[in-house]
Chain A
């Protein structure tokens, strides 16, 4: 296949450790370049399932179901010619809205027209059982190779299904396809959608006003069409006796991949990263090694991006070396890696926002104030102006440097949910 992007890995770390130290931190910047949208024929085949919530609440107000129909139509128009696609209408039951026979259609003039007719007739009538929707998408995508993508729209909580059913459905879909999740309105559960998106390596966002759905679906579908290689994993080789403390994607959003580890050899683990277009992501890797002697240089991790075909041998796309060097020179071992420090701050920022908003919902106002205050200070220090702007809608700022804040008494639900949903969005470190 010639259309795969060129991958490159850059490592940012302070490799110097003081005597006896064992923890090695590094930021991996993975960049994929080309093929651009100019040569879509070079990309892997793509299959997309659009999942539209058709529960009764989508009728209240009516604008919601109308906007969902319009946005889904726009998504269908945005599909690249030749893409396989299907539309699922989600209630407490699953309805295959298009095609209705359990196959997938091809995006061409006739296919798009037929699909849009079917979508136009969608009714909102029933409950919400997201796990069953995901399993239906998986049944459609399971035989497909290449880019496998779902877009999930919901307006409510997963009321008509046990949490365990959703969890097991998500687990069954993990690694099978990527799923972007959107919550419309303010009656859905942020943790629920974030959990699905994070497990299925997709994005999550709020569309508080149904008016915004169309533009959002167009952008989301275009981004999915920009992917040109699926099933890429971050492979870490580590020395015997070493432990991977954590692996996190830290840009553009924070996603903890530590528990997604798949052992692929005695000293090799793979962490799935989903599908890639022309883009760049940062990862924070923390490895604990057996300390060496002063003067020793150790390979703490060999980080590779590997592509695995359905049945082929895994292929290494790019590689970087994470090192540990033990020294007596404190000027070296006490150096702070700007990149590691930045993303440590960004990961903490996401965490304290989520903790603060949870405390706020639970009525623990002291804890909410201290967590959100810490969040504000971190956002300011690390230059994450977008998140700082969202925080400012929830707290009154007395001193941004120390994080002295008061909870606002009147906060719209949409603003609170937006802050929570976008808490994992990070600012990129300024390098060099």
Chain B
């Protein structure tokens, strides 16, 4: 078996341990960064970033053959127990539910609501009843179902979806509004935007999946959009959007190639966040629109 060397002190790492036997530092693992490539149908990248000890984001992609392309992004709440597991379980439960419901001709809106319910149950089931409820595993949620002519987005928390137009003359836009303290202050008229954003509580979540939030199916927020031109749908965690709040700027980084090469687009956006400091885990999932509804076999003959 080959021996690796420590990224910090250069000592040899034993093959059985993830820690350096000299300086004790944990070595990078495959969980630190994941890339998934569904060819021109969709792609996503998640990265640990530079300042967090592990990646607590998760994402999932799937083509529901002939009907839709779906993506889910979840961001574990770092002050809860096992946030990484919460995000992974929520993504997996939501994806399975979406694929099954859409395969059975359920409309995308209903399918999304059911998926959020399933994700919510999965995260609640992870909670240890012996641990105080404030620390129960928790995560955010955002999903997109892209069909021939519409996109349905569902979310809870502060992971976002954006429409990024391929044509620079068309406008790009956020499709979600955060469940955050700042936004609640602004929408309820209690504070101005700048004032709210400057508050230390600005990014505190007001909506999430977890035992301390209860089952979320009924309160899921949904939006349906019908794009009039080509572009991509972006799902991302706050590790990306914290560095640039304008969708037009994000579009500027990846257009005009993003609809043809979503993997390159996702990598470009994640790299931008890393270059900006990588303060948090970063996830970007990209679905070109109009979606490619059949799987393209890339590597097989």
Contacts and interface: CB of A to CB of B under 8 A. Distances in A.
Interface of A: 238-242, 267, 289-290, 292, 294-300, 325-329, 331-332, 432
B24 A325 contact: no
CB-CB nearest 3 A-B residue pairs: A239-B24, A297-B26, A299-B19
B79 A240 contact: no
Contacts of A325: 53
Nearest to A432: B130
A329 B24 contact: no
B221 interface: no
A329 B79 contact: yes
- A interface: dominant SS: loop
A295 B53 CA distance: 4
A332 B24 contact: no
A267 B131 CA distance: 35
Interface string B40-78: 000000001111111000000000000000000000001
Nearest to B278: A295
Contacts of A240: 9, 22-24
B50 A289 contact: no
Nearest to B130: A432
Contacts of B253: none
Interface of B: 8-9, 19-26, 48-54, 78-79, 128, 130-131, 279
B239 to A, nearest CB: 12
Contact of A332 (B21, B22, B50, B78): B78
A326 B54 CA distance: 11
Contact of A297 (B22, B53, B131): B53
A432 B52 contact: no
A331 B51 CA distance: 15
A218 to B, nearest CB: 38
A300 B19 CA distance: 10
A289 B51 CA distance: 19
Nearest to A298: B24
Contact of B49 (A267, A290, A295): A295
Contacts of A294: 51
Given A329-B79, A332-B79, A299 B130 contact: no
B136 to A, nearest CB: 13
Contacts of A290: 23
Nearest to A266: B22
B84 to A, nearest CB: 13
Contacts of A296: 8, 25-26, 53
A325 to B, nearest CB: 5
Given A296-B53, A325-B53, A328-B51, A239 B79 contact: no
Contact of B78 (A239, A326, A329): A329
7 contacts: A241-B23, A242-B24, A295-B49, A297-B54, A298-B23, A329-B79, A432-B128
Contacts of A300: 24
**Which of B9, B19, B78, B279 is the most central at the interface, judged by chain A CB atoms within 10 Å of its CB?**
B19
A294 B278 CA distance: 11
A402 B52 CA distance: 41
Nearest to B11: A240
A427 to B, nearest CB: 19
A296 B78 CA distance: 15
A329 B49 CA distance: 15
B79 A297 contact: no
A299 B51 contact: no
Nearest to A241: B23
A295 B25 contact: no
B51 A297 contact: no
Given A328-B51, A329-B79, A332-B78, A298 B130 contact: no
Given A299-B19, A328-B51, A289 B79 contact: no
Nearest to B9: A240
Given A295-B52, A297-B53, A332-B78, A432 B131 contact: yes
A331 B50 CA distance: 19
Contacts of A328: 51, 279
B51 A298 contact: no
Nearest to B132: A432
Contact of A299 (B24, B49, B131): B24
Given A329-B78, A332-B78, A332-B79, A239 B23 contact: yes
A289 B20 CA distance: 14
Contacts of B78: 329, 331-332
Contacts of B128: 432
Contacts of B52: 295, 327
Contacts of B8: 296
